[in-house]
A and B are shown apart, each in its own frame.
Chain A
Amino acid sequence: MTVTTPVLRDYLAKLESELPFGKKEKREILLEAEDHLIEDAARDEAKGMGVDEAERRATRRFGDPQVLARRFAEERAPAIELRGVTKRFLTPAGTAYTALRDLNLSVHVGEFCAIVGPTGCGKSTTLALISGLEPPSEGEVLVDAEPVTGVSKAVGYVFQVDAVFPWKNVLDNVATGPRLRGVERSEANRLARDWISRVGLAGFERYYPHQLSGGMRKRAALAQTLINEPRILLMDEPFSALDVQTRTLMENELLQLWSATRSSVVFVTHDLEEAISLADRVVVITAGPGTVKGVYHVDLPRPRNVSEIRFHPEFARIYQEIWNDLRDEVLVSYERSKRVGS
């Protein structure tokens, strides 16, 4: 950066940290923004205004970095796109079961998108399709504007159940990703130690998963996924098995880690409160076969504290709005499960 005045420097630094792109793209955008701001400020200066004041006004006219970053992201091709996706499974009885029907969904670069829906609506299937673990029966799944043909290196996946390897200790578990991708053992261990302390497990490197609590295992799983620095982070009800206090801690922790990486997140949950507190956007899926029922923007300020954001007046309004949609689907799903049960 060539700017030396503190006002512009601070502003551009803020914008840089908000932009969810790679280094090169960030540079291009920042250079353009800088040119524009200098030019704009120069006009005010010419009218006899002080440098700082002129620049401050220029940045105000240019916009809030957070809002700008989002607009930039929305202008680009989405990080994840599902076009008319249908997924059928063969049941053991030999019949076809439709998990998803004609699902359309796109997630912007750097966006935190939550998917909510009743049990069995195909939320997890959606993640399996994005990750490349399962191919769609019909339609297209695109990641970074490329059709998904298999498991991509850009993807990280945190599973609902424990997926850490029980025969590896915490250090080896977290180092697995880099090791599998060909990183030297010493370097992989160094990275792993760093991530282990970032998720608060320092001192537990030599413990095996069965010696840890559920919350600690989840942290290990998080570190194991994040160490690969995925640009696309898929999470399948990752905290549903945790007690409420641990859960809130983990949600805050996730937001912190995410704000540092700005990866695109798809977070599946059946808990609407969790969805709103975490996400930029909430997608409601209908009771199976799943398809998109509604999409809601969550314009709550960031950085958020999950345990406090629930008391924000806007939170209640959004909750009400989404719940009206979700309730019908939950009822449908509940009626169905009753019929199966009886």
Chain B
Amino acid sequence: MSVLSASARSPFVGPEPTSGDRARAQARTRRRLLVNGLRVAVAVVVLGLWELGTSQGEAGPLDPFFYGRPSGIASQLWTWIQNGTAQGPLWLQVATTLEEAALGFLIGVGLGIVFGAALGRIRLLADVFAPYIKALNAMPRVVLGSIFIITIGYGIWSKVALAVVLVFFVVFFNAFQGVREVDRVLLANARILGASERQLATHVIFPSALSWILASLHTSFGFALVGAVVGEYLGAIHGIGIVIATAQATFNPNGVFAAMLILALVAVTAEFGMTWLENRLIKWRPNAVAEIQHI
């Protein structure tokens, strides 16, 4: 048996770093600086041109009345932070939208996983519901927002409902597919090793579907945000969506852009969190450890 251990060497344990390795490391640092520098340059050029184009008022190439101005957006943000929006303090608007999006996201993901897994596992259910799900999915579901506002009212729950509807289908299809695509050999292996039907679900089907489900979470938080904002836009008391609607109604493009900026920040933060969660949950996937091999 010692013969075997001799041939079993770690693929990752290499010799000491050589001068070639160090040179490569330096080259990589230089490249990273270059990329980051160029990124900043792109932002400066675009914002600079925008600012310059709108600096001459109506006569210039870009009319600030329609297009807003970067400096105007910044001062609008500052005003909101200091004095609050027409709907009250800025943090309250952000918190309301976030609350709606988060609730919609959680409920939508939960329902999506449960229904996706159920239909993926139970053939009869899948056959019965397939046409309805296809029809509902083909419909532009944003229009449901109007119905939710009529039936549920102006509070946060009509927005949560819209976010749920948008999130549900994304997660549902991924969970459904994930459960269906489970490797048959892995299932057979687990059965032979002694798994009961319930253990099959926890040891094989769920972990296998998890990568599919997690992939859908990236897009679905975006959808939850869309649901919340569009819902607010259609009618609300607080929230970024109603801030945008108000800015639009008062011909205030700087306000619209400022609100967009806030939404972008929220979305990027959520995306970051999602990637972190994904790497934590599926560290067994090759790309999760790809970093090691690049050294």
Q: Does B250 contact A (CB under 8 A)?
A: no
Q: How far is the CB of B173 from chain A (nearest CB, A)?
A: 22
Q: Given the complex, which residues of A lie within 8 Å of B285, measured CB to CB?
A: 166, 210
Instruction: Report if A159-B284 is in contact (Cβ < 8 Å); known contacts: A181-B194, A202-B5, A249-B4.
Output: no
Q: Given the complex, which residues of A lie within 8 Å of B193, measured CB to CB?
A: 176-177, 180, 224-225, 228
Contact B11 A211 (CB under 8 A): yes
Contact B5 A159 (CB under 8 A): no
Contact B7 A246 (CB under 8 A): yes
Instruction: Report if A151-B7 is in contact (Cβ < 8 Å); known contacts: A165-B204, A165-B207.
Output: no
Instruction: Report if A200-B189 is in contact (Cβ < 8 Å); known contacts: A167-B207, A168-B284.
Output: no
Contact with A along B163-191 (1 / 0, CB 8 A): 00000000000000000000001101111
**Interface size bucket, A side?**
35 or more
Instruction: Report if A199-B208 is in contact (Cβ < 8 Å); known contacts: A157-B189, A165-B186, A180-B193.
Output: no
Contact A219 B4 (CB under 8 A): yes
Q: Given the complex, which residues of B lie within 8 Å of A11, measured CB to CB?
A: none
A151: which of B1, B191, B282, B289 is its contact (CB, 8 Å)? Answer: B191
**Interface size bucket, B side?**
20 to 34
Contact A167 B208 (CB under 8 A): yes
Contact A210 B188 (CB under 8 A): no
Contact with B along A89-123 (1 / 0, CB 8 A): 00000000000000000000000000000000000
A163: which of B1, B7, B8, B188 is its contact (CB, 8 Å)? Answer: B188
Q: Does B274 contact A (CB under 8 A)?
A: no
Q: Does A153 contact B (CB under 8 A)?
A: yes
Contact A180 B4 (CB under 8 A): no
Q: Given the complex, which residues of A lie within 8 Å of B204, measured CB to CB?
A: 165
A216, B10: Cα distance in complex, Å? 10
Q: Does A85 contact B (CB under 8 A)?
A: no
Q: Does B33 contact A (CB under 8 A)?
A: no
**B residues adjacent to A (C-beta < 8 A):** 1-5, 7-8, 10-12, 185-186, 188-196, 199, 203-204, 207-208, 210, 282-286, 289
**A residues adjacent to B (C-beta < 8 A):** 131, 133, 151, 153, 155-157, 159, 161-169, 176-177, 180-181, 197-204, 208-213, 215-216, 219, 224-225, 228, 246, 249, 252-253, 256
